[in-house]
Amino acid sequence: MVTSDGGTWSARHAVEAAARRTAALVNVLTAREAPSAAAVVAVLREHGEPGELDLSERDTAEMRAAALRLREVFAAPGAAEAAARLNGLLALTAGSLRLTSHRGASPWHPHLDSHDDAPWGEWLLASSALALTVLVWDRQCPPGGLCASASCGNVFLTQGAGPPRRYCSRRCATRERVAAHRRAKAAEGRQPADEMDQVPIVRR
């Protein structure tokens, strides 16, 4: 997409891109073990964040606290619950809705944090709440969900129309199908012995 001044639109500012970044950050930040700053920076880089990314331990801790709040939006069972949780997060944002170009370094896009150099935790909560709010508005359904795999639990984004999604990736879906198949096979292997126990003995 080309902007009015002839520049190229940076895809990382699109709502879908911001929402994908949110999901990726929530997953790395809410892992069982708190991530290193380097791991968080790697995700930010993967999703197109430019410039110097010097995260401190405090920054990472604040981002983790924000990510735990955002995870509750993904866990919402319906649009009404997702909207209520997002309304709560929007009330926590430190700034009013404004447009910024980061002093000409990017295309114009909306922000809800207090200023362009707001702390990382504040930025994550505000930018993510805004992106997820637009998705609920646009689709009238929760923006995503939690992976149904007991060994995973990552968040994922809802991908438009179609049957409800249960897993964050094909890998998790395949792993769960294989596990279910093995359980079924094991049950079948036990069944003949169980049936034999129930067969009455007829003495001639």
Least confident of 112-121, 122-131, 175-184, 193-202: 193-202
pLDDT beyond 50 at 43: yes
User: Model confidence at 178, in pLDDT bands (50, 70, 90)?
Assistant: confident
What pLDDT sits at residue 10?
52
Task: Give per-residue pLDDT as tens, 67-78.
Answer: 999 999 999 999
- 107 and 129 Cβ atoms separated by less than 8 Å: no
pLDDT beyond 50 at 195: no
Of the two residues 196 and 141, the one the predictor is more confident about is: 141
Say how far apart CA 169 and CA 51 lie, in whole Å.
30
- 22 and 14 Cβ atoms separated by less than 8 Å: no
Q: Which amino acid is at 81?
A: E
pLDDT beyond 50 at 13: yes
At which residue do the structure tokens 């404004």 appear?
A: 98
| Cross-strand bridge partners of residue 2 | 8
**Residue 189 half-sphere exposure, CB side, CA atoms within 13 Å?**
6
Say how far apart CA 71 and CA 138 lie, in whole Å.
20
What pLDDT sits at residue 183?
80
What pLDDT sits at residue 182?
79
What pLDDT sits at residue 73?
98
Say how far apart CA 187 and CA 195 lie, in whole Å.
12
Of the two residues 62 and 174, the one the predictor is more confident about is: 62
What pLDDT sits at residue 176?
82
What pLDDT sits at residue 47?
94
At which residue do the structure tokens 């002839």 appear?
A: 6
